[in-house]
Amino acid sequence: MANAPTKPTTPVKNESSSASGAFATLTIPICIVVAILIYMFILGDGSHYKGGDPENDVNPGDYFGIIHKGGIIVPIIMSYLLMVIVFSIERAIVIGKASGTGNVDVFVKKIQSFLNAGNIDAASAECDKQKGSVANVIKSGLKKYKEMEAEPNLDVDQKTLAIQKDIEEATALEMPMLEQNLTIIATLVSIGTLTGLLGTVIGMIKAFGALAASGAPNQSALSNSISEALINTALGIGTSAISIVMYNLFTSKIDKLTYAIDETGFSIVQTFAASHKNSK
């Protein structure tokens, strides 16, 4: 019966997980379509080329035309970049909500202060003010704390273990929601660079193929072809660099939240054990 109140939590978390999965399923193809449209109608616009013809040379200093010359791999890498931007915004919103309405460090100190004073009700009220994943886990632990105080059939060690287990279960429900879609950003770290290199290799093959077919070396044409091929590498490396920064940023924020939960959970367990063993 003590665990009954926690059961409604699971469908809510499953709903959040499903919504996040649906978001990813829709976002990926949309980013691909948008990248293709940008490549065709913005980068490929005739105004970027001499005489308005994409078959001609790019206007001097026109970076849109230069990027367009990178070939068919360009919209693929652009779709990666759009995915990084969209999923980064989505993760920032989710992790921001998980942190709650106030500073997490200040919240943890307040909870520890209330625990030291033995004021469990005030600590629970503070969780209601803070909201978010950290507050949800701590409130679950505090609720279990009060339940164990009224439990006559268990000794102190069993009650302490029950509180610790409840906090661990609540944490297990909250953490997957924070980490979801981070794997997509982590994947883009690798495939961004690899796709850029693939575009460069394809461009180099075309360049040397055209050089062989012409029968006479044309240094200017070869230089242009190599320059166009390297555009893919530049875009791929740039996309991967942004992905690395965003992935590390979000994992560090999640680690901070996890540490806050662990620290406060430990305080709850230790406070219960100390106060009740002394009273015993």
Reported as a pLDDT band with limits 50, 70 and 90, residue 66 is confident
Residue 10 confidence (pLDDT) above 60? no
Measure the CA–CA gap between 12 and 199, rounded to whole angstroms.
44
Q: Decide if pLDDT at 3 tops 60.
A: no
Q: Give pLDDT, residue 208.
A: 80
Least confident stretch, 4-8, 20-24, 77-81: 4-8
Report the range of poorest mean pLDDT among 61-65, 111-115, 134-138. Answer: 61-65
pLDDT, average across residues 108-125 = 93
Q: Which residue has the tokens 């001499």?
A: 50
> Residues 38-75, buried b or exposed e (16+ Cβ, 10 A)?
bbeeebbeeebbeeeeeeeebeeebebbbbbbbbebbb
pLDDT of 29 above 90: yes
Residue 93 confidence (pLDDT): 93
**Cβ–Cβ < 8 Å for 120, 276:** no
Q: Which pLDDT band, with edges at 50, 70 and 90, does 17 fall under? A: low
More confident residue, 224 or 185: 185
CA atoms 181, 186, 189, 194: torsion sign: negative
How many Cα atoms sit within 13 Å of 175 on the Cβ side?
A: 16
pLDDT at position 276 over 80: no
Give burial (CB, 10 Å; 0-12/13-18/19+) of 132: buried
Q: Render pLDDT for 91-111 as a digit per residue (tens, 0 to 9).
A: 999 999 999 999 999 999 999
AA identity, residue 73 = I
Question: Exposure string (b/e) for 80-118, b if CB count within 10 Å is 16 or more?
Answer: bbbbbebbbebbeebbeebbbeeebeebbebbbebbeee
Confidence of residue 134 (pLDDT cuts 50, 70, 90): very high
Average pLDDT of the chain is 87
Distance, in Å, from the CA atom of 49 to the CA atom of 195, rounded to the nearest integer, reads 26
Work out the average pLDDT over 152-167: 92
How far, CA to CA in Å, does 80 sit from each of 20, 85, 226?
18, 9, 23
pLDDT for res 137: 94
- Please report the pLDDT score of residue 278 as a whole number: 53
For residue range 219-272, list pLDDT tens digits in order: 666 766 777 788 999 999 999 999 999 999 999 999 999 999 999 999 999 999
Residue 220: the pLDDT is 63
Examine the pLDDT at 2 and tell me if it is beyond 70: no
Please compute the mean of the pLDDT values over residues 108-128 and round it to a whole number.
93
**Angle of CA points 209, 212, 215, to nearest 5°:** 150
Q: Is the pLDDT of residue 27 over 90?
A: yes
State the pTM of this model. Answer: 0.85
Residue reference for tokens 């200093």 = 61
**How much is the pLDDT for 7?**
41
Sequence length of the chain is: 280
pLDDT of residue 175: 84
